Amino acid sequence: MSTSNKILTEHNAKVVVLDFINALNAEDFELARQQLQDDMSFKGVMGERNGADLYIEDMKKMKFKYDIKKVFVDQQEVCLWYDIDMGAKTIFSCGWYKLVDDKIQSFQVIFDPRPIL
């Protein structure tokens, strides 16, 4: 991959993930859904979800808010450090997003769950 293609790929990946997070923060679940592959997968400390529609339905109920601290990009992968406001608690977390065809195919979020147990 040429340097200019790598820069464009990384820029696009970052924009997709940030659009996704910003849409969740704004509770614009339709825009958030547009950033996901239909068969996307999510893995988190408290469970897993397969399928974009199921994931978005869960997010409509949870209404988490994300405060991004740092963004790292490597081609079609984006890593975010963020605080997730879960309502009663705010938890520092890391999200690793993998994109295919400019949409999120999978992501994993890790954090120390003890404050919410």
Dump pLDDT digits (tens) for 73-96: 999 999 999 999 999 999 999 999
Return the pLDDT at 117: 87
CATH fold of 3-116: Nuclear Transport Factor 2; Chain: A, (3.10.450)
Q: What is the pLDDT of residue 32?
A: 99
Long-range contacts for 83-86 (Cβ within 8 Å, ≥24 apart)?
Answer: 84/109, 84/111, 86/62, 86/116
pLDDT, mean of residues 101-108: 98
Q: Is the pLDDT of residue 1 over 90?
A: no
Q: Which of 74, 73, 81, 68 is nearest to 111 (CA)?
A: 81
